Amino acid sequence: MKTVHLVQHTHWDREWYFTENDSKAVLYYFMDDLLQRLEQDKSLGPFVLDGQTVVIEDYLSVAPHQEARLRKLVEQGRIVIGPWYTQSDFLVVGAESITRNLLLGHADCQRFGGTMPIGYVPDSFGQSAQLPMFLQQFAIDYAVIWRGWSEHNVAHSEFSWQAADGSKVTTAVLPWGYGCAKWLPDDPQAGQKALETILAKQTRFSLTDHVLLPNGNDQSPFEYRVPAMLDKLNHQQDDYHFVRSSFSQFFEALDSVHITLPTYQGELISPKYMRIHRGIFSTRMDIKQLNAQLEQTLSQHLEPLLVLNWRLGLPYPQHAVDNIWREAMKSHAHDSIGGCNSDRVNAMVKNRLESGLEMANQLIDLNMKMLAEGITAQQDGKKIIIFNARPQTSAGLVELTIFTPEQDFRVVDGEGKERRWQIIEKSRQDMSIIVQELSNSTETTWYRKCLLLLEVADIPACGYQTLYLQEGVGAGFERQIKSAVKLENEWLRLEADKRGILTLTDKRNQQVYRNILQLVDGGDAGDNYNYSPPFEDWLINSDEFLTSINGEQGPLQSRLTLNWQMAVPQDLAARKERDANAELDITMSITLVNNNAWLDVAIDVNNTVRDHRLQVLLPTGVEQLTHFADQPFGLIERPNLPPEMAVWQEEQWTEAPVALYPMQSQVMMHNDTRGLCAVTKGLREYQIHEDCQDVIAVTLLRSVGWLGQANMPYRPGRASGMVLPSPDSQIQGLHRFKLSVLAMNNGADHRFWHDVELARGNLHAWLATGWSRFRTNPHGRVFPPHYSVLTWDTALHFSTLKKAQHSDALVIRGWNPTAQTLPCGTVIANGEITSVTLAETPLKALQESVPTCAPATFVITFEGAKTC
């Protein structure tokens, strides 16, 4: 006899085709009913509140008077909450976001008296290979998942899932989803008939006689009569024994069987039984870019700056920062960040991210102002603060915007030594928009607005250095900008022919990459969930549409600018007729810094056409069967051609398992002598086309007009979501995309990873003009002209520097981007240093090495620090 574990739950989408306001209204009545039923019948429960504490936050925002009732049921274990703050997507959002999601989710659970110790991920569109690592870092030994698994990965629905760093969690799959037993009838006979089909499917891949039966669905009311119906079934049949259970009780029963579970290592992105919606990685690319910008601003600019100022005696606005993270995470749910929503919801998702970035930037501006205020000037002029978030002394180029009435100016350090700079953009600026005091003036005050590339050196680790802008004084170095037809430095040479076709030569080994950065536009007959080519596509590349090309060579960098007017179809109907009745205006600016071994690329697109996808190609010339991309805190190897492509139609998969993959910001294909790597700014998708196995295609944008559609080539059958027009997902208008391109001359060696980290950038410049939108009283503190919080000599990539969540201590984190174990290196700081988990709980010993795909986190505690 099989034991069937009834787990009652709800799956709560905060937003989708409906808004968060809609869901809060429904939540009020759902929770009112749930609390009442549980209080009236003590035999009911436990009830799983979807594993995300934001549901509690939303409910109490509309029913704060119910907190005591809710808290009591949580403390009794009859309502089960956590461990997440929101049900995040794990393939699109960043590693720090996933970490903070668990950190804040656990904090909420502690306030309410209980945490579900299960990594419950019921609806994420695919599963990251890193999920076991994240869970183990928070002392979670079990996971329950749905989408992404099939027997092509592992034969059974219960298995031991291992991350690349060795972390393992016992995992159970809901092979037919969290809603497989929804809306069960009250009558035992009708219930038995309904359950025959459900349990036949549920037990198909089960390794033991213990079976999960999730009872609940999207925003669905508590089916409080089901437990009593199943109790009656226990007396009417002998095939199954039904028990009122929880995920924790199920795993206890599974452990008691003492069976050896199969082990699986890797990601789970198989769409055989359930759609994972390959396409959400590029849906609403404007939202993806905005989210990536906010994540990086928070973890690698704002938080490190706040730490620096906190160590100098200024306050650390912990709650304000947490609130920004929380609002961002409300946009990280699988539908929300996936962009597979109604236009109204996508607008709300975008607004939350924009609001978070606005708040973060204001905190940065105020903290830079307070920092500059406390520094006693060593030279004449306006102070320029160069802030370095990384834990190593840095040098290089940093962008700085200045407004000046003068034609001449120079920049010097504290000893009066001049720094070189190069103007990369300039315009006139009406200063009444910038300076509050001028806003009511009857006369317009015009200044020069210059975006500078400023050369800096010896910027202290996790610290700052002060430079000075001296206006009305000529620069004492050669600043001439010369015209150029190619880009070249010690390492690379990029040349363009008359049609704008580019050839890159790696001068270190004379490897040549022809037709690099070609643009290709094709049709998109998909929806917000899936890219899908038209049944008869028409691909158009940029080779014949160049309108102009010009180049310039400056003292710090050179730039090549290409302009195209690509003749393309206006929509799918025109593409079907092969009628190029519209134009895409595209500008590509490629820069090569004199001292860098990579290209920086900015692509501006005025998107005026519909139902299409635009990609940029990186032909590697490498004959390999696999390639690499980054994932949260790690690297993953993937096949260029998924072997399942040979069987998906015959086996009637829910969608095609095409080589359309997610990344955090990096994809590369290489051998020992040649290869290319792209490091992107917010672009989350790439593809290896079946007919071009040595070419990386990075998706810039895709434009679609429907939330869901039926019968697509890559996704046959029913529509996903709702068949609802979504015209805003055509993302018309101007868009800018950025990526860096690195040629790989010696595989993924130490120098390569160093360049990847530098290409991501962590230097920030701020000019103390004396102007401010908001005034603050002087803080009265005096700061040194340069300062360092700590140093960390390590090859790990920088993740964050922040204040500890529950104490007056610092947290610094790095991660291993390579495929090998790396030495941890030594953190040097004026305090006690402890190795901790992502949950900020102490490890037994100081960490000395870091496995592949793993973070290393340290807490630095100072004498007299308080613990919350």
* 139 Cβ contact partners less than 8 Å away, ≥ 6 residues apart: 117, 837, 839, 841
- Tokens representing 581 are 């009745």
Residue 613 pairs in a beta bridge with 522, 702
Other CB atoms within 10 A of residue 173 CB: 28
**Residue 830 token pair:** 């004026």
DSSP 702-735: EE--BS--S-BTTB-SSPSS---B-GGGG--EEE
What end-to-end distance do the CA atoms of the chain give, in Å?
50
271: tokens are 């769409």
In 405-474, where do the E strands start and end?
409-412, 418-419, 421-430, 446-459, 463-471
Mean pLDDT of the 191-204 span: 94
Across the range 767-788, mean pLDDT stands at: 91
* Mean local confidence (pLDDT), 424-435: 87
Give the pLDDT confidence score for residue 776 in this predicted structure.
87
Strand 263-265, strand 158-162: pairing: parallel
Both tokens assigned to 554: 């400056």
- For the segment 32-42, what is each residue's pLDDT rounded down to a tens digit? 999 999 999 99
The pLDDT tens digits for 282-302 are 999 999 999 999 999 999 999
Residue from 454, 459, 446 nearest 475 by CA: 454
Structural domains of the chain ordered from first start: 2-265 (3.20.110.10), 281-478+762-781 (1.20.1270.50), 489-760 (2.70.98.30), 789-868 (2.60.40.2220)
Query: How buried is residue 866: exposed, middle or buried, by Cβ count under 10 Å (0-12/13-18/19+)?
Result: exposed
- In this structure, the number of other CB atoms found within 10 A of the CB of residue 38 comes to 22
Is the pLDDT confidence value at 842 over 70? Answer: yes
Distance of alpha carbon 732 from alpha carbon 826, whole angstroms: 49
867 pLDDT higher than 50: no
- Whether the per-residue pLDDT at 793 is higher than 90: the answer is yes
Mean pLDDT along residues 290-316: 98
Residue 482: per-residue pLDDT: 83
Quick one: which of 407, 434, 17, 12 has its CA closest to 220?
12
- Which pLDDT does position 815 carry in this prediction? 98
Bridge partners for 551 per DSSP? 560
What percentage of the chain exceeds 90 in pLDDT? 94
Summarised one tens digit per residue, pLDDT across range 13-25 is 999 999 999 999 9
Indicate whether 865 pLDDT > 60: no
In DSSP notation, 572-629 reads HHHHHTT---EEEEEEEEEEEETT-SEEEEEEEEEE---SEEEEEEEE-----SEEEE
The size of the chain, in residues, is 868
The encoded tokens of residue 510 equal: 């004379």
Please say whether the beta carbons of 812 and 792 come within 8 A. yes
Catalytic residues: 123
Tokens at 598, concatenated: 């990579």
Q: What are phi and psi of 408, to 5 degrees?
A: -110, 150
Which pLDDT tens digit goes with each residue over 652-700? 999 999 999 999 999 999 999 999 999 999 999 999 999 999 999 999 9
